[in-house]
Chain A
Amino acid sequence: MRVKLTMTLAGLGVMLAGTSLIGHHAFGGEFDPNRPVLLKGKVVKLEWVNPHAWIHVEIPKPEGPDNCQFTPNAKCETWMVEGGTPNTLLRRGITRDSLTAGTELVIDGYQARDHTVNRANGRNVTYPDGRKLFLGSSGTGAPTDGADPTEPTGRGRGRGGR
């Protein structure tokens, strides 16, 4: 029990350092904690849909079923990675075109409990150098992109106009 609790605390630390807590549904019911995955590949498609966006990435693998689109003369396996609602990002000026096909990503997460499908949660989606996806985009032109220092920032306190 003590060991397990320590692991829980360690896990909590990992969680706070890397990822968030919440989704539209129970992630634990969808993904298998005993099937961790590390996916290094390139974006082939983005499903910019609700309740959750899905990023499709191709992972070069010798035994992959398909020819890779972005790695010449190689076989690839395609995975779907679950993210969050696109609406919040859209309001920050991030669109479906912000993540283009061919972009290289590193994703860690857990495979779906149905092991017959290549689906995982995007527990942590980053560029190869570790930077988080969709961050550092101040100045996008969105109403609240942070580029305007005079813009009220206290969400919940009132901002904007009618």
Chain B
Amino acid sequence: MRDRIFAVIGATSVAVVMATTSIGVAGQAKRPAQPAKPAAAKALPRTPDGHPDLTGVYDLATLTPVERPNGMSATLTDEEAAKLEKQAAARRDLLAQPSKGDRDAPPVGGDGSVGAAGNVGGYNNFWLDPGNAYFEIDGQKRTSLVIDPPDGRVPQMTQAARERLMANRNARPTSDAAENGRDPGFEGPTAYDDPERRPLGERCLLGFGSTSGPPILPNYFYNNLHQIVQTTDTVMILTEMVHDARVVRMNAQHLPSSVRKWLGDSVGHWDGDTLVVDTTNFTDKTRFRASTVDLHVVERFTRIDEKTLRYRFTIEDKNTWPQPWTGEYIWPATDDRIYEYACHEGNYALGNILRGARLKEATDAKTKSKQ
């Protein structure tokens, strides 16, 4: 049953994508990749030490997913993008329509909603703030962040990684864990035993969906703001959700391998006008996409115009993928402000979830003793 429900939802969620399956390679042919113009770079803002000034607040919200949906080409024409963006807008408009004021309570047994809404319907759409456009880079509207492999998909994990995953399937969930579809009974038998069995996002330790990274990814729901503060010696990358500040030490050596950090140890240098940030020394707690402590992330920040950065990341972990893989997207500057996200302040949910699990245990035990 569970699989069938997911199949239903899967079919629904890809419906928008399927509408674009007729898209050919015309878009690609029409829009050859254009390298950034060096002439324009001269006019870009620079710090007193002569490097491009990356300082600013950036809003990473986008409709472009990390991996390319099946059946889509690598790029969209303006018309194709406009059509998909219009569909997304239409869905938002539908969800904003008034309900009946004299409506009844929702159905007993749940409303059938899936994902994090968990059969109880989550909350209203007005709380969300996702992107509403596909990002454009080198004149191309992209359908995935992943650019290498060229199919826009993260490489298949190695056999060893799959076996590790299977052996650890009841391990503590990671910061990028999908928190969808998890109801008591759906997760492993120990998943609700104590707070440390809950996902890092639910515990307010990191944002979900690798918001802090590295690599820093859009979360597709809300609070996609990041701030860069740059000095000669350090670059700080602040992630609104969950108030993580990663300090990149410029022209420094990595810490000894015995020192492990939640966001890894980041050191930076300039490659021409591109800031290159190299991160290693991860813990075994975040495990980006099931990777290990040997994860190695290289990020490249390039200012491509006064309001936009290009953010490229390459991921390497021989314990997890047979080859490195790379993604990129743009970071548009925004006038919006980053606000405090004091996640523990109102996190009644974690207590509610754990007490709910204890109640279920008590109820199940009572039922069993009657049998």
- A7–B179 CA distance with the chains assembled, in angstroms: 23
Tell me the nearest residue of chain B to A35, going by C-beta. Answer: B108
Task: Determine whether A37 belongs to the interface, using a CB cutoff of 8 Å to chain B.
Answer: yes
Q: Which residues of B contact A87 (CB under 8 A)?
A: 222-223, 240-241, 339, 341
Known A28-B119, A50-B341, A121-B123; contact A14-B111, beta-carbon cutoff 8 A: yes
- Contact: B99 with A126, CB < 8 Å? yes
Known A4-B1, A85-B223; contact A12-B117, beta-carbon cutoff 8 A: no
- As a 0/1 sequence over residues 140 to 160 of chain A, the CB contacts with chain B under 8 angstroms (1 = contact) are 000110000000011111111
CB distance from A146 to the nearest CB of B (A): 12
- Contact: B352 with A90, CB < 8 Å? no
- Contact: B115 with A21, CB < 8 Å? yes
- Contact: A22 with B352, CB < 8 Å? no
Q: Which residues of A contact B208 (CB under 8 A)?
A: 24
Which of B119, B182, B184, B337 has the most chain A CB atoms closer than 10 A to its own CB?
B119
Known A156-B133, A162-B307; contact A12-B113, beta-carbon cutoff 8 A: yes
Task: Determine whether B16 belongs to the interface, using a CB cutoff of 8 Å to chain A.
Answer: no
Known A19-B117, A135-B126, A160-B336; contact A88-B223, beta-carbon cutoff 8 A: yes
Task: Determine whether B121 belongs to the interface, using a CB cutoff of 8 Å to chain A.
Answer: yes
CB distance from B305 to the nearest CB of A (A): 8
- Contact: A158 with B332, CB < 8 Å? yes
Q: Which residues of A contact B335 (CB under 8 A)?
A: 143-144, 160-161
Task: Determine whether B257 belongs to the interface, using a CB cutoff of 8 Å to chain A.
Answer: no
Task: Determine whether A77 belongs to the interface, using a CB cutoff of 8 Å to chain B.
Answer: no
Tell me the nearest residue of chain A to B334, going by C-beta. Answer: A160
Q: Which residues of B contact A15 (CB under 8 A)?
A: 111-113, 117, 121
Q: Which residues of B contact A144 (CB under 8 A)?
A: 335-336
- Contact: A19 with B125, CB < 8 Å? yes
- Contact: B107 with A23, CB < 8 Å? no
Main SS at interface, chain B: loop
- Contact: B343 with A50, CB < 8 Å? yes
- A57–B307 CA distance with the chains assembled, in angstroms: 44
- Contact: A30 with B117, CB < 8 Å? no
- A154–B78 CA distance with the chains assembled, in angstroms: 13
Number of interface residues of B (CB under 8 A): 105
CB distance from B93 to the nearest CB of A (A): 10
Which of A54, A85, A109 has the most chain B CB atoms closer than 10 A to its own CB?
A85
Interchain pairs with CB closer than 8 A, number: 350
Q: Which residues of A contact B63 (CB under 8 A)?
A: 156
Q: Which residues of B contact A109 (CB under 8 A)?
A: 106, 120-121
Q: Which residues of B contact A47 (CB under 8 A)?
A: 346
- As a 0/1 sequence over residues 250 to 275 of chain B, the CB contacts with chain A under 8 angstroms (1 = contact) are 00000000000000000000000000
- A23–B112 CA distance with the chains assembled, in angstroms: 16
Q: Which of B132, B347, B356 contacts A154 (CB 8 A)?
A: B132
Which of A1, A26, A112, A160 has the most chain B CB atoms closer than 10 A to its own CB?
A26
- A1–B1 CA distance with the chains assembled, in angstroms: 7
Which of A8, A21, A38, A134 has the most chain B CB atoms closer than 10 A to its own CB?
A21
- Contact: B112 with A10, CB < 8 Å? yes
Binding site for B on A (CB under 8 A): 1, 4-5, 7-12, 14-34, 36-38, 47, 49-54, 80, 82-85, 87-91, 106, 108-110, 112-115, 117, 119, 121-135, 143-144, 153-162
Binding site for A on B (CB under 8 A): 1, 4-5, 8-9, 12, 45, 55-56, 59, 61-64, 85, 91, 94-101, 103-136, 179-184, 186, 192, 198-199, 201-202, 204, 208, 221-223, 240-241, 306-308, 330, 332-337, 339-343, 345-350, 352-353, 355-357, 359-360
| A and B contact pairs by CB, cutoff 8 A, 11 listed | A7-B112, A25-B199, A25-B202, A33-B111, A52-B123, A91-B339, A113-B184, A113-B357, A124-B103, A156-B132, A158-B330
